[in-house]
Amino acid sequence: MPAILAEGLRKRYGSKEVLSGFALSVREGTVCGLLGPNGAGKTTAVRILSTLLRPDGGRAEVAGFDVRTRQADVRRRIGLVGQNAAVDEVLSGWQNLVMFGRLHHLGTRAAKARATELLGRFGLDETGKKPVKQYSGGMRRRLDIAASLILAPPVLFLDEPTTGLDPRSRNEVWSMVRELVAGGTTVLLTTQYLDEADQLAGQICVLDSGRVTAEGSPGQLKSEIGGDRLDVVVHDAADLARAAGVLARYSESPPETDADERRVSVAVRDRVTALTRVAGDLAAEGITAEDIGVRRPTLDEVFLHLTGHKEKETDLTGRKKEVVA
């Protein structure tokens, strides 16, 4: 039985159809990364699966219970970490966890014990008595995740859990997720960061215009777009066009050129043959290459290939990166 199952989910707001036949199946104890551009319907899907929103059509089960008819059963088995750190800023971290513990119907003593335990586990014991207002973004996010783990739920929804976090806090969240999954938790993670999905998810669903357009492991998705990539960086930008001509001989798909980085890239079937021949051809034509290499495609390229969106993505270093097809 899958831990999360969705079939033909539909949701529309006015004339805009946000989900149009969304389907998903996540095995117990795995991480599924829901990947897609802004407005693709990621958050709407999570809100339906976590009982916050009723779908207009379709069916969904979480931990074996229908999200429409068995809301209470679903709520006992899920944790939700939304886009904002949904904790009380006025109260201290400890007070927050005790409150959420009691609202999960732990006795006062049990709620306090659980609060202390979670603060320790998430490295917040020292700041536990301070009001959340004084916490850093990473600390808030950790408290937020801790608050959704009061009952150690078998299914955890993480809606863009690292948006707005610095790289160190992001790594902390990632290791936390890995730890939870090792303990058997099923995680549905939405993200705009391809790297994040690549790092954490065993299964990736690419969401575009309200439906899943591609699904598979990161490796499968990467090989789907035509195997390995051969990159050539030329010394002189004037040689780019001729270098592209060379690469085109060894591929069925047209080469992609990045003028800023003086790079030409192409999908190749046979990595070793292509590499040796391209190196020979470039030398024969008198083109000086600064770098030649064969690599697996990035999820950026997969994403671009699958959705056809040419959009500026902010990569993990926070700098804007132009994706050129």
Across the beta sheet with 78-81, the strand order is 78-81, 155-159, 186-191, 31-35, 203-208, 211-216
User: Considering the rule CB under 8 A, would residue 42 count as an interface residue with other proteins?
Assistant: no
Among 59, 68, 76, 112, binds other proteins (CB under 8 A): 76
Q: Check residue 161 and report its DSSP letter.
A: T
Window of 2-10, 95-103, 226-234, 246-254 that interacts with other proteins by CB under 8 A: 95-103
User: Considering the rule CB under 8 A, would residue 290 count as an interface residue with other proteins?
Assistant: no
User: Considering the rule CB under 8 A, would residue 4 count as an interface residue with other proteins?
Assistant: no
Q: Write out the two tokens for 55.
A: 């779908």
The nearest distance, CB 87 to other proteins, in angstroms, is 7
Window of 102-110, 184-192, 218-226, 267-275 that interacts with other proteins by CB under 8 A: 102-110
User: Considering the rule CB under 8 A, would residue 131 count as an interface residue with other proteins?
Assistant: yes
Residue type, 102: R
For the stretch 106-113, contacts whose Cβ atoms lie closer than 8 Å and that sit 24 or more positions apart, written own/partner, are: 106/150
User: Considering the rule CB under 8 A, would residue 105 count as an interface residue with other proteins?
Assistant: yes
Q: Annotate 119-153 with DSSP letters as a single string.
A: HHHTT-TTTTTSBGGGS-HHHHHHHHHHHTTTT--
Q: How far is CA 215 from its chain centroid?
A: 13
Q: Which is nearer to other proteins, 88 or 258 (CB)?
A: 88
User: Considering the rule CB under 8 A, would residue 53 count as an interface residue with other proteins?
Assistant: yes
Residues in touch with other proteins (CB under 8 A): 47, 50-53, 72, 75-76, 78, 80, 82-91, 95, 99-100, 102-105, 131, 147-148
